[in-house]
Amino acid sequence: MPKKPTDPRFIDLEGRQFLARRVVEYLGRAANGHNMWLCRCECGAESKLATHEITKPNPAQCICQKRKKTESALVGKRFGRIFVEGFSEVIEGDSHWNCVCDCGHKWVVMGQSLRSGATQSCGCLMRDLVSIRATKHGKCGSPVYRRWDSMIQRCYNKKFKHYSYYGGRGISVCDRWRFSFEAFFNDMGDPPTNGHTLDRFPNNNGNYELGNCRWATRKEQQRNNRGNCIIEYNGKSQCVSAWADEYGVPRSTIAGRLHRKWSLDRVFSF
């Protein structure tokens, strides 16, 4: 066994524990001048490490510790109808997980498929959606049915042209509406006119669900756009155009006063 240096700056690590590793013995000085140590992990694996590799704030970990972290990453999480029960194995670099579907079916799913949203059920979700679309409710092709179908597509179909503005930013449809057109129709009814579309209101960043949806005209939709400047005054919040209509003045008048950084009391002094 090599003799340990007598230099007072030398740090004797022998016998000390660092995370899952214990320093077993001193191995001597390497060609680059670093003091080397034989370390043994709690899993039994041995490694040769320099002092700075052992004592730094985020020391190098044994592969078993990295595996433990990987094996607990998705456990207990839910992806659509899938609940992750535990880690299965690594196949060609991809982690696989033991999962159970809400319908009771158990199988192994690749982690990447869960994270990307490519797999959201054992296949029962697609069967249910097909069944919904095949249901004879007499409304297929009607304005209300087309608006319901568009709502589903923009939230869950990644190939839909506007998906990034809806499902892509976390907007979803409540289960009651997502899996039942009849439930949606019972809650919302027919749009008043063909010009009315489905609008998330009062929370434009919220989900499609009862209490946050209305049939709105094109004008109302534009005023509920998340890009609008919303002004709160006297306990009321609405966009500049709505304020202009309320006071009977051109929109440019209010917008100009706001641009000049007037106080709200002065902006609305007509």
pLDDT in tens, 23-49: 999 999 899 889 999 999 887 888 899
Q: pLDDT above 70 covers what percent of the chain?
A: 90
The predicted structure's pLDDT at residue 119: 87
Cβ(98)–Cβ(85) below 8 Å: yes
Cβ(181)–Cβ(187) below 8 Å: no
Distance CA 67, CA 61 (A): 10
Q: What Å distances lie between residue 256 and 231, 239, 244, 266, 269, CA to CA?
A: 14, 14, 12, 12, 14
Bond preceding residue 202 cis, omega within 30 of 0? yes
The predicted structure's pLDDT at residue 190: 92
The predicted structure's pLDDT at residue 137: 67
The predicted structure's pLDDT at residue 67: 66
**Where are the domains positioned within the chain?**
17-65, 73-125, 139-216, 230-267
Tokens of 210: 């009862």
The predicted structure's pLDDT at residue 226: 64
| Cβ atoms < 10 Å from Cβ of 31 | 5
pLDDT in tens, 10-29: 889 999 998 888 999 999 98
The predicted structure's pLDDT at residue 133: 62
The predicted structure's pLDDT at residue 68: 64
The predicted structure's pLDDT at residue 208: 95
The predicted structure's pLDDT at residue 19: 83
| DSSP-based three-state secondary structure for 110 | strand
Q: Give the mean pLDDT per block of 10 residues along the chain (270 residues).
A: 83 88 91 91 86 84 69 84 88 83 91 85 80 66 90 91 89 92 92 91 90 89 70 78 78 83 84
Tokens of 200: 């998330």
Distance CA 88, CA 106 (A): 12
